[in-house]
C-alpha cells in the first residue's frame, strides 16, 4: 500500500503523540520527586521506585499487547489500552500512599505501552521497507517534543499546585491521547495478515526472532541505549537540584534543552537515512552516545562536573539516542516482516526492562552524588556499542 496515501503527516503526528506516553508519564513529574518524597514521607529510593514500576509495566505490557495486536488488529488494542491508561492516570491524582502510587504506575505503564508499541508498528505496517526508517524518525521527532514541553510544564505546576497538580495535567494528556486514537489512527493490519493460531503461533514468532542472527543484537543496542537515557532521567532531578543546586524550574528548562537533541537528530535522520542508509546512521548514533557517556564519566570522576557540562553531555547523549534508536529499530523490525507486533514488543520490552534496572541503580549511593549515574550510563553505552558493532558486522553484506 502507498505510504503517501495512508501514512499522512497528520497520521504521523497522531502516532507520535500516542507514542509519547513514556516522555509525558516520566518527564512531567521528575521535578516533583523531592516534593513527593516529602509529602508521602519516603526517601529518594522509594520515589525512584515509582519510575521503575512504570517501566516494568511498560515492558510487560508491550510483550502482551504487541503480539495480541498481531491477532486482533492494531486499533482495538490501542483503544483498550488508551482507556485504561486514562483511568489509571486519573486515579494517580488521588494516590494516598507510595504503595498505591507504585501500583497505579505499573497499571499506567502496562496500558500506556499500547501507544508505544503500536505507534511504531502501525508506521511500519503502512511504510515500504526502504522508507520505514524515515517514518520512524518522523514519529520520534513528534515524540521528542514531549521532553521539551513536559519538564517545564511539570516544574511550573510543581511549584504552583504541587505534585498532584502535575498528575492531574498528565491525566488530561492521557484523555487527549485516547481521543486522538479514536479519531485519527486507523486499522493497519488487514484480516488476512492476522495470526489465527493463538499462543503457539505467538511463541513461534518469538522463537524465530530470537533465533535470528541480527535481530537480538539490534535489540540489545537499542535497549541499552535507552537504559543509559533512563539512568540519566532517573538521576537527573537529584543531580541537577541537589548536587548542582538548580531550582525545579531551572532544572526543568535545562532538561528540555538537553532533550532537544533527540528532535534534532531525528529531523536529520529523516532527511538523510534513506540516502546514506540506516546502518551508517546507526554508527553515527552509537559514536555520539558513547562519546557523551565517556565525557560525563570523566567530568564526574574528576570532580569538574558543572551545570553547563552536565547539560552538554545530556544533549550529546540524546542526540545520539535519536540516531541509534530510530535506525536500530528500523533494521531490527526489517527482520520481523511476518510478526511486526511481536518484533516491536520484544524491542520495546527489552528497552524498558533495562530501563527499569538502570533507574534504581543510580540511587544506590544516595541523592548527593552523580557517580552512580555516570558509571551506569558509561557501562550501558559500552555494551550498546559492542552489540551494535556485532550487528552491523553480521549484516554487513546485506544478508538476511
Structural domains present in the chain: 3-182+198-394 (1.20.1250.20)
Q: What's the rounded Cα separation, in Å, for the pair 238 and 156?
A: 17
Q: What is the pLDDT of residue 67?
A: 81
- Rounded mean pLDDT of 38-60? 84
Cβ neighbour number for residue 179 with a 10 Å cutoff: 11
CA distances 375 to 163, 244, 350, 362, Å, are 30, 18, 21, 9
Joined grid coordinates for residue 113: 505501552
**How much of the chain exceeds pLDDT 90, in percent?**
30
Kindly indicate the confidence band of residue 233, based on its pLDDT and cuts at 50, 70 and 90: confident
Range of weakest confidence among 5-9, 15-19, 59-63, 92-96: 5-9
Q: pLDDT value at position 3?
A: 40
Model pTM?
A: 0.71
- Pick the range with the lowest mean pLDDT from 16-20, 56-60, 302-306, 331-335: 331-335
Average pLDDT over all residues of the chain: 84
Quote the radius of gyration of the chain (alpha carbons, Å). 20
Residue 305 pLDDT:
92
Amino acid at each position: 500500500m502507498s505510504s503517501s496515501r495512508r501514512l499522512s503527516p497528520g497520521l504521523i503526528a497522531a502516532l507520535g503523540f500516542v507514542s509519547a506516553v513514556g516522555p509525558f508519564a516520566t518527564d512531567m513529574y521528575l521535578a516533583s520527586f523531592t516534593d513527593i518524597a516529602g509529602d508521602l514521607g519516603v526517601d529518594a529510593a522509594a520515589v525512584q521506585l515509582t519510575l521503575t514500576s512504570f517501566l516494568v509495566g511498560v515492558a510487560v505490557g508491550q510483550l502482551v499487547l504487541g503480539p495480541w495486536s498481531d491477532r486482533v488488529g492494531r486499533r482495538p488494542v490501542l483503544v483498550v489500552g488508551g482507556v485504561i491508561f486514562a483511568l489509571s492516570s486519573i486515579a494517580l491524582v488521588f494516590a494516598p500512599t507510595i504503595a498505591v502510587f507504585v501500583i497505579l504506575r505499573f497499571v499506567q505503564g502496562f496500558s500506556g505501552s499500547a501507544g508505544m508499541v503500536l505507534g511504531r508498528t502501525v508506521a511500519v505496517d503502512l511504510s515500504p521497507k526502504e522508507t520505514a526508517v524515515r517514518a520512524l524518525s518522523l514519529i520520534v521527532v513528534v515524540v521528542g517534543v514531549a521532553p521539551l514541553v513536559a519538564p517545564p510544564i511539570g516544574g511550573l505546576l510543581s511549584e504552583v499546585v504541587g505534585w498532584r497538580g502535575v498528575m492531574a495535567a498528565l491525566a488530561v494528556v492521557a484523555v487527549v491521547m485516547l481521543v486522538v486514537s479514536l479519531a485519527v489512527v486507523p486499522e493497519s493490519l488487514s484480516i488476512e495478515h492476522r495470526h489465527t493460531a493463538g499462543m503457539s503461533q505467538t511463541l513461534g514468532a518469538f522463537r524465530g526472532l530470537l533465533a535470528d542472527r541480527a535481530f537480538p543484537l539490534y535489540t540489545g543496542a537499542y535497549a541499552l541505549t535507552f537504559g543509559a537515557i533512563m539512568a540519566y532521567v532517573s538521576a537527573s532531578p537529584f543531580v541537577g537540584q541537589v548536587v548542582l543546586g538548580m531550582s525545579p524550574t531551572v532544572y526543568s528548562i535545562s532538561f528540555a534543552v538537553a532533550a532537544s537533541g533527540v528532535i534534532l537528530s531525528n529531523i536529520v535522520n529523516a532527511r538523510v537515512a534513506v540516502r546514506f542508509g540506516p546502518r551508517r546512521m546507526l554508527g553515527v548514533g552509537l559514536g555520539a552516545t558513547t562519546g557523551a557517556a565517556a565525557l560525563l564519566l570523566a567530568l564526574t570522576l574528576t570532580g569538574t562536573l558543572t551545570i553547563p557540562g552536565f547539560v552538554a553531555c545530556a544533549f550529546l547523549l540524546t542526540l545520539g539516542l535519536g540516531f541509534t534508536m530510530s535506525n536500530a529499530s528500523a533494521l531490527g523490525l526489517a527482520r520481523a516482516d511476518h510478526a511486526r507486533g511481536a518484533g516491536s514488543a520484544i524491542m520495546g520490552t527489552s528497552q524498558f526492562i533495562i530501563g527499569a534496572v538502570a533507574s534504581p541503580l543510580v540511587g544506590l549511593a544516595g541523592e548527593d552524588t552523580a557517580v552512580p549515574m555516570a558509571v551506569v550510563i558509561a557501562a550501558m553505552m559500552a555494551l550498546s556499542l559492542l552489540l551494535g558493532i556485532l550487528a552491523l558486522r553480521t549484516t554487513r553484506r546485506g544478508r538476511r
